[in-house]
Structure 1
Amino acid sequence: MPEETLAARAADDFAAVFGGPPQGVWAAPGRVNVIGEHTDYNGGFVLPTALPHTTRAALALRTDGLLRIASVQQPGDVVEVPVAGLRPGHPGGWAGYVGGVVHELPAAVAGGLSVLVDGDVPAGAGLSSSAALECAVALGLRDLLGLDLDTVELVDVARRAENDFVGAPTGLMDQSASLLCTAGHALFLDTRSREARQVPLDLASAGLELLVLDTGTRHAHADGGYGERRRQCEEATAALGVAALRDVPDVAALDALADDVLRRRARHIVTEDARVLEVVRLLDGGGDPRGIGPLLTAGHASLRDDFEISTPELDVCVAAALGAGAHGARMFGGGFGGSAVALVDVADADRVVRAVTERFDREGYTAPAIVTAVPSAGARRLR
């Protein structure tokens, strides 16, 4: 659907709920991570790309000190809370991602705000629908209020909303991707230095597609498994005496860890950073992108065996895609559910989708939802 149509629909829905037009409509995309899982909070490297799927936020300032939030996807559920009454965990649920952004800018938004949310980033699929919502609202508030915040500062506002307000201990990759990505590229981000650059990812001209295969199994960063992996990485970091696991020179150095679980967690991070750098090298070289396929598959094995965050559905998805001719496949996101990604020839895409769907049917799983990850633009104002 054209962006002008999406913006008009959001504006109309805003008026229907709040009785007047918004002062603007902003959009921010979800993301798929090409490679680099759980490396962001370990000071390492990531390579996400933005999706064409976006969350839209229509905004208008108020004068009564209230934050009122409505969503097209949650009809009839208008959340209302005084801006002065915002606190971590209140409001909860989906509205907390909006509340968290406003909570980060209390003086600027003291008069109140009306927000209408609409979007097509699948929730719970590991596509960072939460960051898309945070970034759409954060960018909208910067523009609407004329705030002196650069894009890196906006990333931090959105990340703190998720970490400190919602309570999900994520790194900064998702918000960075949503705000910084450009069409036709992946974002190579050093999460420690914050240095970022665009890496060419023109799959279409190579006859390739990046399929996102949503298993439909629940994925939630605020749940305990993600936080436990983060704590284990922190324990391994402390035991090794380094500032971050990215500073471990090689896998052999992990022999100093007596605990097998910590050793395996750290091994995933060390080898995943190396995979990110190799994928970037291959893409920068202008060669055939099919060459990154084995690195994607190796990343899945590491997430499954060393980091232990895959699920039977994700493993079946990856195996079926590879068996049907995918050049590489892996789970992505926080783990414990969500989606896998498969790099396929355009000519083979239908066969891969059919193979995954048929395998899911045989295993008794719900048929996966399939979208194509077209490297797209980051957050922007629509009207």
Structure 2
Amino acid sequence: MTDLLSEARTGFEERFGYAPGGIWSAPGRVNLIGEHTDYNEGFVLPFAIDRRTFAALALRDDGLVRVASSLEDEAVEVGLTDASPAVVKGWAAYPVGVAWGLGKVGADLAGLPGFDVYFASDVPLGAGLSSSAAIESALAIALNEVWRLGFDGARLVEAAHLAENDFVGAPTGILDQSASLLSREGAALFIDCRDGSSEPVDLALEASDLAILVIDTKVKHEHVSGGYAARRASCELAARELGVAALRDVTIEQLLEARDRLDDETFRRARHIVTEDQRVLDTVETLRTDGPTAIGDLMFASHRSMRDDFEISTPELDLAVEIALNYGALGARMTGGGFGGSAIALTPVSMLTQVQVAVDSAFSEHGYTMPEMFVVRPSQGARRDK
């Protein structure tokens, strides 16, 4: 983390020619369970990981915004009050969208100074670990401080979520921004996506000699793509047909009784959401009563549902989950929006090497791109670092 902080500070100085006023950071996230339930007003259980995005920032004496990154050759410039989805495209839409989103939730952008910001990150791109929310959250907490907005965490989540949904155009729920902004070290974050309330749930991984292994399949995904939007549309259709505000309001018994009213695909999409909500509640209860060693079956049941009912898995993700379970993991599932990205495996520390070697061998045998694997730890949410 010290290296990244230094990279952010040095990158800012080299790009803009002066020192930043401060450096803030926010983490990527892993979703332990609860996939696609967030935009259905249901329940999710993510945690922040020890991979972070650092934002070195300084205010300007005019209304110009300049955003730059260690991954981009050029800075993107736009007037603070001129920013719109039609004007800013590509990666810069995420940070510029945050400033725009803060305006939508109460900041008076016309009366605020512009800023220069430079990002450095070790959150993998396209791996399903929410690199976008890490950018959004780092900038949101920075601007909240330097602009003296005084917004609470819920307001910052709202602004960052608006940036992703309405500025970038990715039809996601609040899971990613909530996890990145609000998580606590050592715990998952149990979120009710209807009212935005959240509470930490201790994971106690180290005490149980367990680790979460991320298996990045290197199959890239983008939430702006049609597959994600199509799944959301199916869920909204099911809710309309069932006469409810959101699928969170449907029990499995009610869904089964109404099966004849839905086509097969819409029924299966809805079944994933309804059963996934229950799995989140069961996982929270199990963690509190029996600890992390007892949640493996719930994790794999979630993966089966995403594979068979929601159809968002890939052959690489399915292989990663299968091999991890066969070689020592207690539970495994794909994580994130799907169509690529990463799987996670809840693994005894003593079995980590065995799982990794087996996954490498299986991917090689199938002719897949070799995955990247690393352990992640439940970490602190967005913060000021310097």
Is the structural similarity TM-score above 0.5? Answer: yes
Go from structure 1 to structure 2 and tell me whether the alpha carbon gap of 1:111 and 1:362 turns closer, same or farther (over 3 Å shift).
same
- Contact 1:79-1:95 within 8 A present in 2 as well: yes
Which residue in the other structure is 1:142 paired with?
Answer: 144
Show CA shifts across 1:220-260 (max 9, x none): 11111001100100000000011211111224534413311
Equivalent in 363, 374, 377 of residue 374 of structure 1? 377
1:87 aligns with 2:87: no
Identity %: 53
Distance 1:129 1:9 in 2: 17
Task: Say yes or no: does 1:274 pair with 2:268.
Answer: no
State yes or no: 1:97 paired with 2:100: no
1:218, distance to aligned residue in structure 2 (A)? 1.1
Give distance in 1, aligned partners of 2:311 and 2:330: 23
Tell me, what secondary structure is at the counterpart of 2:48? strand
Map Cα deviations across residues 309-353 of structure 1 (whole Å, 9 max, x no partner): 001111111111111121111111111000000011111110101
Q: How far, CA to CA, are the matches of 1:31 and 1:111 in structure 2? A: 31
Runs (4+) of structure 1 exceeding 4 A deviation are: none
1:62-84 C-alpha deviation (Å, 9 max, x unpaired): 1232211111122x221112223
* Native 8 Å contact 1:212 1:373 kept in 2: yes
User: What is the distance in 2 between the residues matched to 1:170 and 1:326?
Assistant: 29
SS at match of 1:320: helix
1:112 aligns with 2:130: no
User: What is the rounded CA distance, in whole Å, between the counterparts of 1:261 and 1:31 in structure 2?
Assistant: 30
Greater shift in the superposed pair: 361-370 or 109-118: 109-118
Q: TM-score, normalised by structure 1?
A: 0.96
1:315 aligns with 2:318: yes
SS in 1 for 2:352: helix
**Alignment partner, residue 352 of structure 2:** 349
Equivalences, count: 379
SS at match of 1:125: coil
Task: Name the SS of the counterpart of 1:186 in structure 2.
Answer: strand
- 1:202-213 matches, cutoff 5 A: 202-213=204-215
Q: CA RMSD of the aligned region, Å?
A: 1.3
Task: Give the equivalent residue in structure 2 for 1:284.
Answer: 288
Contact 2:35 2:336 in 1 (8 A): yes
Secondary structure at 2:115's aligned position in 1?
strand
- Residue deviations 1:328-382 (CA, integer Å, cap 9, x gap): 1111111100000001111111010111111000111111011212000000000
State the match for 2:327 in structure 1: 324
Could you tell me how far apart the structure 2 residues matched to 1:289 and 1:8 are?
Answer: 36
Output the TM-score relative to the length of structure 2: 0.96
The equivalent position to 2:160 in structure 1, one of 152, 158, 161, is 158
Alpha-carbon distance between aligned partners in 2 of 1:252 and 1:353, rounded to the nearest angstrom: 42
The correspondence for 2:229, drawn from 214, 221, 227, is 227
Q: Which residue in the other structure is 1:191 paired with?
A: 193
Q: Is the 8 A contact 2:203 2:291 kept in 1?
A: no
In structure 1, what is the equivalent of residue 71 of structure 2? 73
**Structure 2 unaligned residues grouped into runs of 5+:** none
Task: Establish whether residue 340 from structure 1 lines up as the match of residue 343 from structure 2.
Answer: yes
Q: Distance in 1 between matches of 2:262 and 2:308?
A: 18
2:265 to 241, 261, 268: 261
CA contact (8 A) 1:108 1:145 kept: no
Deviates more, 1:287-296 or 1:83-92: 83-92
Question: How far is 1:89 from its partner?
Answer: 4.4
The code of the aligned residue for 2:148 comes to: G
Matched-pair contact (CA < 8 Å) for 1:90–1:96: no
Deviations 1:259-288 (A, max 9, x none): 111110000001101110111001111x24
Aligned to 1:39: 37
Structure 1: tracts of 5 or more residues without a match: none
- 1:80 aligned counterpart, secondary structure: strand
Q: Is this contact kept in 2: 1:36–1:47, CA < 8 A?
A: yes
